[in-house]
Structure 1
């Protein structure tokens, strides 16, 4: 078979500047990396030394970035799943509440409660009373510049300045 011509350009001097085309740059890196490893191995054998040579592939940065994006995606996906679960729970609770009007904690007949439920009701009412007290104090403080006096209903007053 006769040769129809050269298939490669042969060896020629490559200017030392960054290759602009990303794919060409990756191909060149892959090809030259093997040559560098071979030279390092030869140098180590000839000189009887141990050589540490670190090369970071341009694709390594992409892999790190991709891994971070995948991790971020997984976190967001988990948050969305949690939100969807919470929404289903709320819808279910709302539907249950609509079918049973006595389901509200403040509508529970006290005489039907066991001690644990009474303790829970007491805690909730105490918290509600505290929130009312805070809101009331703020309204009074905003309405006048006078010190506010709080009446607790049991003969005790508390002054706030």
Structure 2
């Protein structure tokens, strides 16, 4: 499923409208952040949700940009210049967003790998397996049994050593 062109008209369904609003708002804020970072632009966006809840994004802040816009005073414009701390935070945010996207992709890959490993080789009931499949299953089960026996022996040996160690420490006191 790829992207497709969406006709520009109001979304009628209330739930779909809310989802569309959230996704588009996040995309709009991300683009504004990129514009501020790449071009050292001062950006302010104020959006009201269909439910009337306000959302805002501003760089360096909504207040600073709106004051500059409302005052249009050259002295005010010079004082609103971006300071290094805000620029550093914006760069850090951009880097963290990149890392978040990488981790999301990694998480999807891990989920897929886990799903691939959890699938059973034999999807049919035992009564429907042919002779070759039954022999393969028998071999796999025997290998599993031997592996379990080995682990049990290791656990018993570790347990014995722990008991011996406790007994030795108890007799020292």
TM-score (norm 2): 0.34
TM-score (norm 1): 0.36
Q: Which has the larger radius of gyration?
A: 1
